[in-house]
Amino acid sequence: MKAIEWLGNSLRILDQTKLPMVSIYREASTYEDVAEAIEHMEVRGAPAIGAAAAYGFALGALTYTGPREGLADHMEAVYNRLAVTRPTAVNLFWALRRMQDVLREARDMEDLDAIRLRLVEEADKIAEDDRRMNRLIGQYGNGIVPEKAAILTHCNAGALATVEYGTALGVMRSAHAAGKDIHVYADETRPFLQGARLTTWELMQDKIPVTLIADNMAGFLMQQGKIDLVVVGADRIASNGDTANKIGTYSLAVLAQAHGIAFYVAAPTSTIDLKMPSGQDIPIEERQGKEIREVFGVPIAPPDVQVYNPAFDVTPAKYITGIITEKGIVQPPYSVNLLKLMVRS
């Protein structure tokens, strides 16, 4: 199961809007193709968006047919197009900046093909780094999973949200591989149903026990003592530890604290945005009302009903027990400890 795969001249993207019913791929051969795939959430999940955008940037150079001196302007347009696809996940901007830095280093190179090669190499490196980081997140995360544990997760922070293995689901894969008796409860995660469609599917393929619930059942399960631990992914982590993640994460965090249940965020350090002092500054994407009014094109509400559809929310740091990264688990106070982590090589 690969969310994205580089084929040399194009990026093969598994269309996650159709899963798990059908597996359809988009073969993105232009940066516009990649931008659309990100916008339509065919590829989603902060780390996967970052890697896809990097390849999209590389495609911008690969498909460029103009003269050498026009490349910089063209690539600025490529950057701007990819940057407006999704505002909340910081990995997108992090990956695009890494690509821009490579382009800047190559500003004295005359050979267009050599520049293209450097950009593809960098995108490959971003993807490879993501694979490696997720394995490390899994290893560190396994340390906080008891021998027997019911773990609640929200949305999909799995292999499908990354290049491979997953962040929150990487923790579960790692615990399962270590022989622990874990059972995952997956919130269905309306409106886009990433939990119902993607998390269950991923875990079932790996034979990790999973039970699907509606989002509004999480509190009841906690009340009944059925949840030992909550682990979710992240789209952006501010320097004080405030974490933007899929809408509904904040409610889970408040509920977990009310029930004395540990609440962990699993994310690579590329998700940490030290320039954001707090979660209040993180832009929250609002998506079309149609996503709520319809499910797979089937109307579930009056067609003209007013809808509010924020795609993310921000969980204040005080609700977060720890942040599991590829460099280790960060604990409060986050303002100090995230900075320490980021300067550590």
Contact residues for a copy of itself, defined by CB under 8 A? 20-21, 154, 185, 187-191, 193, 196-197, 200-201, 204, 209-221, 223, 247-248, 250-251, 254-255, 258, 292-293, 295-296, 298-302, 304-310, 313-314
182 neighbors 175 (Cβ within 8 angstroms): yes
Question: In angstroms, what is the minimal distance from the CB of 343 to a copy of itself?
Answer: 31
237 neighbors 267 (Cβ within 8 angstroms): yes
**What letter does residue 197 receive in the DSSP assignment?**
I
Rg (CA), the chain: 20
The CA distance from 34 to 10, in Å, is 10
Pick 142 or 245: Cβ nearer a copy of itself: 245
Peptide bond into 332 cis (omega under 30): no
Pick 78 or 196: Cβ nearer a copy of itself: 196
The CA distance from 88 to 90, in Å, is 6
Residues constituting the chain? 345
26 backbone dihedrals φ, ψ, rounded to 5°: -105, 130
Please give the structure tokens belonging to residue 211: 């039970």
- Tell me which of 235, 242, 273, 313 is the catalytic residue: 235
| Known active-site residue 235 | yes
Question: In angstroms, what is the minimal distance from the CB of 190 to a copy of itself?
Answer: 4
The CA distance from 105 to 108, in Å, is 8
DSSP notation for 327-339: TEEE-S-HHHHHH
For residue 99, the Cα-to-chain-centroid distance in whole angstroms is: 19
Pick 9 or 216: Cβ nearer a copy of itself: 216
Block residue for tokens 């604290």:
257
The CA distance from 202 to 184, in Å, is 12
338 neighbors 323 (Cβ within 8 angstroms): yes
Pick 126 or 157: Cβ nearer a copy of itself: 157
Of 92, 152, 88, 93, give the one whose Cα is nearest residue 314: 88
Residues marked as catalytic: 235
